[in-house]
Amino acid sequence: MSRFLSARFAGLEAYTPGEQPQDMQYVKLNTNESPYPPSPEVFARINGDEIGKLQLYPDPEGKILRQKLADLYGVMAENIFLSNGSDDILNFAFMAFCDETHGAMFPEISYGFYSVYADLYGVQAKQVPLQADFTISAADYCKNEAMVVIANPNAPTGLELPQNDIEKIIQSNPNHVVIIDEAYIDFGGTSCVDLIHKYDNLLVVQTFSKSRSMAGARLGFAIASKGIIEDLNKIKYSTNPYNINRITLAAGEAAVDSNDYYMENCKKIAATRERTTKELREIGFMVLDSVANFIFAKSDAISGADLYAGLKKKGVLVRYFGKEKIKDFVRITIGTDEQMDVLLEKTKELLAEGG
């Protein structure tokens, strides 16, 4: 820290991203990326005309991509906001909808960035414990006078909150924005996008990073009432109007055009998840019922910290959070069947070696 940093950031604990080793020697199951490459249409589009136009600024409104997404999700282009990864939207939402008097609430065990944004903007954050079975209790989020943020399915548990519970939360907070972060929705969950036609306080956040194999391109989108999208645009145009680069916009358009390819990949990933869950349970693991592209698992035979470290030594990278209430667990991204075979083999070796 230099002596120039504003005092208000002195105690800020920044977000720690998952490990991104650059030598690619690991079976990488730690940051919920897709194991499948982008569609051929994406390659063709980026390598074609877009590269030759890099001297030009991108369309700050992302009109073409917004219209394509609007058509895909049955909304109007005015209901779509594009962002540099979905983190960008969460950042803008905390900036737009919270202040000293309007706090935020979210599950205590959830995506780690929510509390970082709250701290960054000096927002009162109520972190609500999960139930003993790691589910979210909708009643905890009703009539709380704060912006609500819920990842559905939740991360790192992978558990889904039923639609009627989500609707209860939205209905009981009419004067606050309710953010449903659907980063992992395409792997088996039920999206609540259709509820935006009914509720003007619902903000649905999605990303191209997971189901659409574009974590490296940084593209997220939000679907919400026209008013909420206008608010997000106010923040965007006051910070970084060109928040999505030209190559990413073009890649996003091609990805929406090849939606079937990605939804097929999601089905494959869901099938691999079910098989991996079953096989881990057969060797004594407790695995939560995930509808995401990762599973949250623990074993009585080996601690979470040892499993993470042991697998890393054997060339398999998983995510270990080490937080008190989940310190026995690791989060494992679902890769290809071949990658999961390696994970299972190395896990069995570790158990045989005595944990």
DSSP type of residue 243: -
- Contact between 181 and ligand PMP (CB under 6 A)? yes
User: Where would I find the beta strands (DSSP E) of 8-49?
Assistant: 27-28
Q: Is 105 in the site for ligand PMP (CB under 6 A)?
A: no
Among 209, 248, 333, 347, binds ligand PMP (CB under 6 A): 209
Contact flag: residue 192 with ligand PMP (CB under 6 A): no
The DSSP call for residue 283 is T
CB-based burial label for 112 (10 Å; 0-12, 13-18, 19+): middle
Question: CA 260, 264, 270: angle at the middle one, nearest 5?
Answer: 145
92 binds ligand PMP (CB under 6 A): no
User: Within 10 A of 279 (CB to CB), how many other CB atoms are there?
Assistant: 17
Instruction: Give least dist CB 87 to ligand PMP, A.
Output: 4
Q: Within positions 149 to 168, which residues make up the interface with ligand PMP, using CB under 6 A?
A: 151, 155
Query: How many other CB atoms are found less than 10 A from the CB of residue 305?
Result: 13
Binding flag, residue 86, ligand PMP (CB under 6 A): yes
The nearest distance, CB 345 to ligand PMP, in angstroms, is 27
**What's the min distance (Å) between Cβ of 263 and ligand PMP?**
18
Q: Of the ranges 44-52, 53-61, 82-90, 185-193, which one interacts with ligand PMP (CB under 6 A)? A: 82-90
Q: Are 113 and 93 spatial neighbours (Cβ–Cβ below 8 Å)?
A: no
Structure tokens at 21: 């080793």
Instruction: Residue count of the chain, please give it.
Output: 355
Which tokens hold the place of 288?
Answer: 């939560």
Q: Does 87 bind ligand PMP (CB under 6 A)?
A: yes
> Quick check: 183 binds ligand PMP (CB under 6 A)?
yes
Q: b/e per residue, 64-82, with b = 16+ CB within 10 A? A: ebbebbbeebebebebbbb
Taking the C-alpha atoms of residue 312 and residue 21, their distance in angstroms, rounded to an integer, is 11
Piece of the chain touching ligand PMP by CB under 6 A; list 3-11, 39-47, 207-215, 337-345: 207-215
248 binds ligand PMP (CB under 6 A): no
Residues 91 and 105: their CA atoms lie apart, in Å, by 15
Show the binding pattern over residues 6-45: x = contacts ligand PMP (CB under 6 A), - = does not: --------------------------x-------------
Least Å from the CB of residue 220 to ligand PMP: 4
Amino acid at 155: A
Q: Shortest approach of ligand PMP to residue 4 CB, angstroms?
A: 29
Q: Is 334 within 8 Å of 269 (Cβ atoms)?
A: yes
Chain positions contacting ligand PMP, by CB under 6 A: 32, 85-87, 111, 151, 155, 181, 183, 207, 209, 215, 220
